[in-house]
Structure 1
Amino acid sequence: MPKSESVSLTQQEDIAAVQGVADAAEKNLLQVADLSQQARAFAALARINIAAEKIAEKADQ
């Protein structure tokens, strides 16, 4: 195999490896974004529960 083809093959392998890493990073970021969204939803539910407790306390007075 001529040297130029070998370099080209190596470059193709490097590109494939970088694309694999980029795909994995994107998947991880999507998982983090999903967890972040879930955390925001839980925080919102906590605020709603606190507000509901305050309303219930005022209703009991």
Structure 2
Amino acid sequence: MPFVRQFAHVDREVFYSLPYPNLQRWLRDWLEHPIFKQVMVKYPPWQEGDDLVVFPSDSRQN
């Protein structure tokens, strides 16, 4: 799914003009799925002057 999603994102107009309605519907269904939307929250990109973002370390790697 990530590869198809990325391919479609590069040029949506071209992707949705291709003769693959089942693939297009499959991707649309995934992109609209509540769980996908929950985990794929978009955050604004960090910019100079923004607060520092520190991610917790993964204790399994210590």
TM-score band, normalised by shorter chain: under 0.3
Larger radius of gyration: 1
TM-score by length of 1: 0.28
The structure, 1 or 2, with the larger RCO (C-alpha pairs under 8 Å, 6+ apart) is 2
TM-score by length of 2: 0.27
